[in-house]
């Protein structure tokens, strides 16, 4: 799976050469890495969204359904959804409202604490979740890089996630 970029056209490597030409040598690799991540994110999210399109789901809405599906009662407070998926509460609210309009979940106040809004999976949501999960799993099964590379990738960027607080407080 080696890609010879030296004799082929790569807009990101062209940008890196521009950076170096302008004397920004120190920042050039970081620029190339960030631009690469942005591009690979775009490619992979497009693959997942193509797989989900037949179910009328976006990646974000799928993740909410999937998270609810993993819980014992198919139910979670909105705040917990935002926390677990590391998505802004306003984005969760907007996605949950859309899922509710589409008849896949319901929202209601927690009977024990009226300030808490719960999102709850409806049978219709559970029904779409099974084939939607199978569809995204076909994407996940083969990303186009080897199994070892997948694990290396996850480990390589872990310090970036760590700096953003993704692993909580250090022990």
The site map against a copy of itself for 119-138 (x = CB under 8 A) is --------------x--xxx
User: What's the CA gap between 97 and 117, in Å, rounded?
Assistant: 12
Q: Which is nearer to a copy of itself, 110 or 149 (CB)?
A: 149
Q: Cα separations (Å) of 12 from 19, 34, 45, 95, 119? A: 11, 10, 19, 33, 42
CB 21 within 8 A of CB 35: no
Which of 2-10, 73-81, 105-113, 115-123 is the region at the interface with a copy of itself (rule: CB under 8 A)?
2-10
Q: Which is nearer to a copy of itself, 40 or 103 (CB)?
A: 40
Q: For a copy of itself, which residue of 56, 86, 94, 110 counts as binding (CB under 8 A)?
A: 86
Least distance between a copy of itself and beta carbon 103 (Å): 24
Which of 18-26, 99-107, 110-118, 121-129 is the region at the interface with a copy of itself (rule: CB under 8 A)?
18-26
CB 112 within 8 A of CB 96: no
CB 36 within 8 A of CB 28: no
Q: For a copy of itself, which residue of 20, 32, 75, 78 counts as binding (CB under 8 A)?
A: 32
CB 120 within 8 A of CB 74: yes
Which of 35-43, 74-82, 95-103, 106-114 is the region at the interface with a copy of itself (rule: CB under 8 A)?
35-43
């Amino acid at each position: 799976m080696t890609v010879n970029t030296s004799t082929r056209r790569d807009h990101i490597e062209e940008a890196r050469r521009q950076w170096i030409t302008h004397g920004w040598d120190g920042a050039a690799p970081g620029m190339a890495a960030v631009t690469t991540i942005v591009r690979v994110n775009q490619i992979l999210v497009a693959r997942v969204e193509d797989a989900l399109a037949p179910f009328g789901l976006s990646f974000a809405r799928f993740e909410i359904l999937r998270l609810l599906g993993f819980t014992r009662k198919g139910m979670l407070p909105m705040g917990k959804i935002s926390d677990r998926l590391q998505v802004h509460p306003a984005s969760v609210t907007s996605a949950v409202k859309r899922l509710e309009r589409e008849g896949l979940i319901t929202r209601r106040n927690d009977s024990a604490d009226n300030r808490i809004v719960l999102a709850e999976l409806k049978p219709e949501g559970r029904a779409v979740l099974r084939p939607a999960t199978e569809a995204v799993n076909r994407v996940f099964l083969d990303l186009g890089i080897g199994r070892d590379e997948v694990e290396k990738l996850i480990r390589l960027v872990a310090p970036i996630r760590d700096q953003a607080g993704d692993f909580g407080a250090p022990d």
